[in-house]
Amino acid sequence: MSKTAWVFPGQGAQVVGMGKDMCEAYPAARKIFETADEVLGFSLSGLIFEGPDEKLSLTENAQPALLAVGVAGATVLREHDLEPDMTAGLSLGEYTALVIAGSLRFEDAVYLTHKRGVYMQEACPPGEGAMAAVLGIGPGDVDAVCEKARAFGEVTGANYNCPGQIVISGKKAAVQEASRLAKELGARVIPLNVSAPFHCSLMESAALKLRAILDKVEVRPPSIPVYSNVHGERLVSASDVREALIAQVTMPVFWQKDIEAMERDGARLFVEIGAGKTLQGFGKRTHPHIPYVRFETPSDLADVVALTKEALLR
């Protein structure tokens, strides 16, 4: 029997209006957004549904917003008797996956992702850091140009998303130098519009602050396999989960490894839950023979149900 994986996007996927149709169509989804509002003490749902975009895109808001949209979508699928065999999330999306796997309470995850966003923004003053997507060269070449560019400051591979796409992160001058060197090797480089240089050592203070509050939150072993961004393998114990959530703040995201590990363990259908289709794009580059289906609006439900049932029969 083939297995189904549910996957959840990270920061950058947010868009004003995401989840609104789901909220209006399903009381269970609406309850998720109401709970997030209660935890944070302000109308996160209003920000998600109505904007403005510049406020929703603030790291401290975008992270719990994407969490809420992902959990709402997964809750609706479960109401229709669908369950994942395994799950993973890109960066922030790992929190969503852990909620789905019963490792974190939704309320705790809302609080943690909001504070995570605050801490990550505080870790590096605006304008000092940068990130850029490097397209068309392999990880060895990316690592080599980053090593050469460290004469200008910290820079490292931050997101190993799929074959031919790696994001680098670090001090602005070092990212610019690494970008120049990558172009000399034939790469296409796209500077990213981000508020801070995520997934590098410049986030160390954020990791320390996050550990202090995570230590006060109950964490349980996942009830289904959850694959870690840090190493691409399963998180088994509660301590595994805690350490992975701290490590991912300063460590690269190995999303391609996650996808390859889930395929190795039997995943033959990937359901991308939440805003956008970024993960579907990465997946098609990693394993074009495996189908993806999105669950973003109620109109997507029939396709998700049909493809999940089809996967069960393989």
Q: What is the pLDDT of residues 250-284, one digit of tens each?
A: 999 999 999 999 999 999 999 999 999 999 999 99
pLDDT at position 193, please?
85
Sheet holding 165-171, edge to edge: 155-162, 165-171, 129-135, 188-191
pLDDT at position 167, please?
98
Supply 108's token pair.
Answer: 């705790």
Of 177, 194, 211, which residue sits at a domain end?
194
* Spatial separation of the C-alpha atoms in residues 156 and 149, rounded to whole Å: 9
Q: Among residues 45, 57, 91, 169, which one is catalytic?
A: 91
pLDDT at position 127, please?
87
Residues 135 and 34 in one domain: no
Only one residue has tokens 């920061």, namely 11
| DSSP-assigned letters across all residues of 192-261 | ---SS--SSGGGHHHHHHHHHHHTTS-----SS-BB-TTTSSB--SHHHHHHHHHHHHHSPB-HHHHHHH
Q: What is the pLDDT of residues 225-255, one digit of tens each?
A: 999 999 999 999 999 999 999 999 999 999 9
What number is the average pLDDT over the span 112-127? 95
Residues 189 and 214 in one domain: no
Q: Among residues 169, 199, 228, 287, which one is catalytic?
A: 199
Give the pLDDT band (50/70/90) at residue 126. Answer: confident
* Spatial separation of the C-alpha atoms in residues 20 and 26, rounded to whole Å: 10
The mean of the pLDDT values for the chain is: 97
Residue 92: pLDDT over 90: yes
| Neighbour tally for 131: CB within 10 Å | 24
DSSP 3-state assignment of 20? Answer: helix
* Spatial separation of the C-alpha atoms in residues 112 and 99, rounded to whole Å: 12
Tell me whether the omega of the peptide bond preceding residue 52 falls within 30 degrees of 0, making it cis: yes
The structure's pTM equals: 0.96
Report the CATH number that the domain containing residue 294 is assigned in CATH: 3.40.366.10
Of 194, 223, 247, which residue sits at a domain end?
194
Distances (CA, A) of 16 to 51, 66, 78, 82, 142: 5, 11, 25, 27, 34
Q: What is the pLDDT of residues 155-202, one digit of tens each?
A: 999 999 999 999 999 999 999 999 999 999 999 999 998 889 999 999
Q: Which domain holds residue 298?
A: 3-123+202-313
Q: What is the pLDDT of residues 140-157, one digit of tens each?
A: 999 999 999 999 999 999
The CA radius of gyration of the chain, in Å to the nearest whole number, is 19
Number of domains into which the chain is organized: 2
pLDDT at position 52, please?
98
Of 154, 173, 194, which residue sits at a domain end?
194
Q: Is-catalytic flag, 91?
A: yes
Residues 42 and 70 in one domain: yes
Cα-to-chain-centroid distance, residue 220: 20
Residues 294 and 216 in one domain: yes
Phi and psi, residue 2, nearest 5°: -70, 155
Handedness of CA 293, 84, 76, 230 (dihedral sign): negative
Which residues have C-beta within 8 Å of that of residue 139, sequence separation ≥ 6? 157, 160, 166
β-strands 129-135, 188-191 pairing: antiparallel
Residue 8 β-bridge partners: 89
CB–CB of 278/13 below 8 Å?
Answer: yes
Q: Would you give the DSSP letter of residue 88?
A: E
Residues 190 and 229 in one domain: no
Residues 73 and 163 in one domain: no
Residue 309: pLDDT over 90: no
Residue 81: pLDDT over 90: yes
Residues 115 and 213 in one domain: yes
Residues 116 and 134 in one domain: no
Residues 140 and 239 in one domain: no
Residues 183 and 269 in one domain: no
Supply 280's token pair.
Answer: 């579907």
Size (the chain), residues = 314
Q: What is the pLDDT of residues 14-67, one digit of tens each?
A: 999 999 999 999 999 999 999 999 999 999 999 999 999 999 999 999 999 999
What number is the average pLDDT over the span 77-96? 98
Residue 77: pLDDT over 80: yes
pLDDT at position 248, please?
97
Q: What is the pLDDT of residues 23-37, one digit of tens each?
A: 999 999 999 999 999
Residues 33 and 133 in one domain: no
Supply 101's token pair.
Answer: 């796997």
pLDDT at position 195, please?
84
Distances (CA, A) of 236 to 120, 122, 222, 225: 26, 31, 7, 8
Report the CATH number that the domain containing residue 139 is assigned in CATH: 3.30.70.250
Supply 112's token pair.
Answer: 């943690």
Q: Is-catalytic flag, 231?
A: no
Q: Minimum mean pLDDT among 59-63, 85-89, 146-150, 306-310: which range?
A: 306-310
Residues 106 and 235 in one domain: yes
